Structure 1
Amino acid sequence: MDAFPAFFPLAGRTVVIAGEGEGAEAKARLFEGSPATVVRLAADEALDPKAYAAAALAFVAAEDDGFARAAAEAARAAGVPVNVVDRPALCDFTTPAVIDRGEVVAAIGTGGASPMLATLLRQDLEARVPEGAGRVAALFRQMQDEVRGALPEAHRRRAFLRGALAGPAAEAALAGDMDRARDLLRQALAQDAPLPGSVRYVDARGPADLLTLRAARALAGADVLVCDEGVHADVLSLARRDAERLAPQPAEALVDLARDGRRVTRLIVGSGWRTEQAALDAAGIETEILPIAR
């Protein structure tokens, strides 16, 4: 990862755009409909660090190299991260191609190397993100405290949310009926019961492109990863970064994890796991073997 992507909250924040012309107008259009206050600066005003005070972000767009550099230095002197259009060397951050669905925002960046490539990729992804996705995110934000209070255990909460995101509450939010969506989510929360956990065995010798889609989903959905030595780094990179990671455990420990409702993904390299899996089956734990694609 050559650049770290981050999202800046815009509610109550100020964004400064310095300069004139199409580049400045394009940056201004990025913030249309956002809760940010957009301040436009031109001429000498854009060269005064005081003009950037308390801003969250600054953008500079200008044909003149001297003006662009001086305005960027003024913003930086005020402690504000700055983006200078078409001048990556002067930027503290680059502007990605953005998919805007309200509370759901996706961004694709190339570090300024190829904005056109980022735009083409955005167009591909935009068709796959439904217009109502932001309303679904808003529903779960509004209900976050209720869900957390009812399900304080993280793995139980994740299991509930996985089901709810594909359930009738999310469908109602997609359709724009937020009152019904909240009612349905509360009903699902009241009826929630812990689901039994499972252990899924994934051949982790790599490379990752040999994994089946089902194996990739087991990695992405795991609460706990139990890893043999020698797991391929590309395989491990497909797992959730906040999943608990353990060295090989006795079968009894895996039984306890599964009975506690955890989704365990067992990353295997050798052949010693077969005895372990037989012990889990004998204990009534759901197991699944996910071989590599051939």
Structure 2
Amino acid sequence: MDAFPAFFPLAGRKVVVAGTGEAAEAKARLFDGSPATLVRLEGPDAFLPGAYAGASLAFIAGDELFAQAAAAAARAARVLVNVVDKPALSDFHTPAVIDRGEVVAAVGTAGSAPMLASLLRNAIESRVPEGSGRVAALLRRHQDAVRAAIPDLPLRRSFLRDALSSPAAEAAMAGEVDKADRLFVESLDAFGSGEAPGGRVRFVAGRGPADLITLRAGRVLAETDVLVVPEGVEPGILAMARRDAGRLTEAEATPEALIALVRGGRQVVRLVVAPPSPEDLRALVEAGIEVEVLLAAPGT
């Protein structure tokens, strides 16, 4: 990863666009409808550090001399700078953005190939539903209530994972905000009054190649709470797993350890580079643990 992607909150923030012309207008349009305060600077005003005071980001468009002087002024005010079409002068690069309100996706190429980023954005955009931002807004409205009702993080993830495919999410996707809120509160009340849901153990092929892994196995890796990693796992498959998932070695992943994790509500993925041990599978099944085996793509 040559550049680290990050999202800057815009509510109550100041963003400066310095310069004129289509490039400056394009940067300004990025913030249409955002809660940020947008400040436009032209001519000598762009060379005054005080004009950038309190800003979070500055975008600069212009010729070499204008860009250098404006960038120096913004940095003197301790503001991060993006200079259009001049990566060497920039502190950060502007990605190709997919905007769904509270859901934002971005594709970047570290400033090396913006046209490629735009093409990839178009390919991804069709897969991000228009209503996904409303689902995110639903979760935000109830975030504090969920944290208070479900203090255990893995259990909270389990609830939220189910909530994303629940009737409440469907109502939010359709724009039925009041109905979505009501259904969400009902599901949270039901979750809190019932027993903690159990997790499961999924065995996923880890030898690769990564491009032959099934879509379902890829989703499972992205959702896992605990990952069992033996030696010989294909790095491309390992990269599909959540970065913040807990990790166990094969020696640590005894049937007893996995049973305890699952009964605590954890979703466990055991990557395998050889067929699973029949004894381990039998121990899990006899303990009443839900087991799923996802070892290869169809036809491989």
**1:1-294 map, 5 Å:** 1-62=1-62, 64-192=63-191, 193=194, 194-248=196-250, 249-271=253-275, 273-293=277-297, 294=300
TM-score (normalizing by structure 2): 0.93
Letter in 2 for 1:273: S
Letter in 2 for 1:12: G
Shift of 1:229: 2.3
Identity %: 61
1:11-34 Cα deviation digits (max 9, x unpaired): 111111111111111111111111
- Give the direction of change, closer, same or farther, for the CA distance of 1:209–1:92 in structure 2 (3 Å limit): same
Shift of 1:283: 1.7
Which is further off, 259-268 or 84-93?
A: 259-268
Q: CA RMSD in A?
A: 1.4
SS in 2 for 1:56: strand
SS in 2 for 1:40: strand
Letter in 2 for 1:101: R
Letter in 1 for 2:88: A
Shift of 1:3: 0.8
1:73-129 Cα deviation digits (max 9, x unpaired): 111111101011111111111111111111111111112222222122222222222
SS in 2 for 1:229: coil
* Distance in 2 of aligned mates of 1:186 and 1:21: 49
* Distance in 2 of aligned mates of 1:271 and 1:162: 29
SS in 1 for 2:55: coil
Shift of 1:287: 1.4
Count of residue pairs brought into register by the alignment: 293
* Distance in 2 of aligned mates of 1:278 and 1:251: 9
* Distance in 2 of aligned mates of 1:251 and 1:151: 27
* Distance in 2 of aligned mates of 1:280 and 1:142: 39
Shift of 1:271: 4.7
1:43-79 Cα deviation digits (max 9, x unpaired): 11111111111100001111x2111111111111111
Letter in 1 for 2:269: T
* Distance in 1 of aligned mates of 2:264 and 2:76: 53
* Distance in 1 of aligned mates of 2:140 and 2:221: 25
* Distance in 1 of aligned mates of 2:79 and 2:67: 15
Letter in 2 for 1:131: E
Letter in 1 for 2:65: G
- Give the direction of change, closer, same or farther, for the CA distance of 1:2–1:180 in structure 2 (3 Å limit): same
* Distance in 2 of aligned mates of 1:120 and 1:272: 41
* Distance in 1 of aligned mates of 2:60 and 2:276: 60
TM-score (normalizing by structure 1): 0.95
Which is further off, 220-229 or 267-276?
A: 267-276
* Distance in 1 of aligned mates of 2:185 and 2:220: 28
Letter in 2 for 1:44: P
* Distance in 2 of aligned mates of 1:130 and 1:232: 32
